[in-house]
Structure 1
Amino acid sequence: MKLNTAVIHAEQVVDPIHGCHVSPLYQSSTFILPNFDEAVRLNQNVDQGFVYSRFGNPSVNEFERKVASLEHAESALGLASGLGAITVATMSLLKSGDHIVFGDVIYGCSFALFTKILPSFGVEYSIVDTTDVAAIERAIKPNTKVVYVETPANPTLKITDIRAVADVVKQHKDVKLVVDSTFASPYLQNPLDLGADVVVHSATKFLNGHGNVTAGVIASSKEIIDRCRMPFLQCFGAVLDPFAAWQIVQGMKTLAVRMERHCENAMKVAEFLDKHPKIERVYYPGLATHPTHEIAKKQMRGFGGMMSADIKGGVDAVRTVMNNVKVFSLATSLGNVDSLIQHSPSMSHFDMTEEERNAVSIFAGQVRLSIGIEDAEDLIADLDRVLAMV
Structure 2
Amino acid sequence: MTDDNTHYKVATKMIHAGVEPDAETGAIMTPIYQTSTFKQQSPGVTKGYDYSRAGNPTRAALEKALATIENGNYGLAFSSGVAATDAVIKLLSPGDEVIAATDMYGGTYRLFAQLFAKFGIVFHYVDMKDAENIRPLLNAKTKLIWTETPTNPLINITDIEAVSKLAKSVGAWLCVDNTFASPYLQNPLNFGADIVLHSATKYLGGHSDVVLGALVVNDKDLFDQLYFIQKSSGAIPGPQDCFLILRGIKTLHVRMDRHCENGEKIAHFLRNHPKVAVVHWCGFEDHPAYAIAKKQMRKFGGMLSFELKNGSIEEVDRVVTSTKIITLAESLGGVESLINHPARMTHASIPREERIKNGLNDSLMRLSVGIEDADDLIEDLKQALG
**TM-score bin (small chain):** over 0.9
After the TM superposition, which residues 269-348 of structure 1 pair with which residues of structure 2 at under 5 Å, given as runs? 269-313=266-310, 314-348=312-346
Q: Give the secondary-structure state (helix, strand or coil) at the position aligned to 1:282.
A: strand
After the TM superposition, which residues 178-197 of structure 1 pair with which residues of structure 2 at under 5 Å, given as runs? 178-197=175-194
1:51 corresponds in structure 2 to 50
> What amino acid maps onto 2:159 in structure 1?
D
Q: Give the secondary-structure state (helix, strand or coil) at the position aligned to 1:219.
A: strand
1:355 corresponds in structure 2 to 353
1:70 corresponds in structure 2 to 69
**Matched-pair contact (CA < 8 Å) for 2:135–2:166:** yes
**Matched-pair contact (CA < 8 Å) for 1:204–1:216:** yes
**Matched-pair contact (CA < 8 Å) for 1:218–1:225:** no
Distance 2:135 2:124 in 1: 12
**Matched-pair contact (CA < 8 Å) for 2:304–2:368:** yes
Distance 2:44 2:272 in 1: 69
1:81 corresponds in structure 2 to 80
Deviations 1:309-352 (CA, angstroms, capped at 9, x unpaired): 01232211111111111110111000000100000111110011
Q: Give the secondary-structure state (helix, strand or coil) at the position aligned to 2:383.
A: helix
2:11 corresponds in structure 1 to 4
Match 1:371 to one of 369, 372, 385: 369
Distance 1:187 1:222 in 2: 24
Distance 2:89 2:348 in 1: 22
> What amino acid maps onto 2:116 in structure 1?
L
> What amino acid maps onto 2:334 in structure 1?
N
Q: Give the secondary-structure state (helix, strand or coil) at the position aligned to 1:271.
A: helix
After the TM superposition, which residues 64-143 of structure 1 pair with which residues of structure 2 at under 5 Å, given as runs? 64-92=63-91, 94-143=92-141
1:28 corresponds in structure 2 to 35
Q: Percent identity?
A: 41
Residue-pair matches, total: 377
Question: How far does residue 360 in structure 1 lie from its aligned partner after superposition?
Answer: 1.4
In structure 1, list runs of 5 or more residues that go unmatched: 43-48
**Matched-pair contact (CA < 8 Å) for 1:312–1:365:** no
2:211 corresponds in structure 1 to 214
> What amino acid maps onto 2:67 in structure 1?
A
Question: How far does residue 234 in structure 1 lie from its aligned partner after superposition?
Answer: 2.4
Q: Give the secondary-structure state (helix, strand or coil) at the position aligned to 1:324.
A: coil
In structure 2, list runs of 5 or more residues that go unmatched: 1-7
Distance 2:82 2:235 in 1: 10
**Matched-pair contact (CA < 8 Å) for 1:78–1:240:** yes
Deviations 1:40-77 (CA, angstroms, capped at 9, x unpaired): xx8xxxxxx21111111111111110010111111010
Matched, 1:163 2:161: yes
Distance 2:128 2:116 in 1: 20
After the TM superposition, which residues 256-267 of structure 1 pair with which residues of structure 2 at under 5 Å, given as runs? 256-267=253-264
Q: Flag as ranges the 4+ runs of structure 1 deviating above 4 A.
A: none
**Matched-pair contact (CA < 8 Å) for 2:139–2:170:** no
2:145 corresponds in structure 1 to 147
RMSD after superposition: 1.1
Deviations 1:217-248 (CA, angstroms, capped at 9, x unpaired): 00002321221121x22232211111000011
Distance 1:147 1:140 in 2: 10
Distance 1:351 1:236 in 2: 25
- Which of 56-65 and 164-173 deviates more? 164-173
State TM-score, norm by structure 1: 0.95
Distance 2:114 2:44 in 1: 45
Deviations 1:276-304 (CA, angstroms, capped at 9, x unpaired): 11111100001123222221111100101
- Which of 293-302 and 188-197 deviates more? 293-302
Distance 1:9 1:113 in 2: 35
**Matched-pair contact (CA < 8 Å) for 2:18–2:63:** no
Matched, 1:201 2:198: yes
Question: How far does residue 263 in structure 1 lie from its aligned partner after superposition?
Answer: 0.4
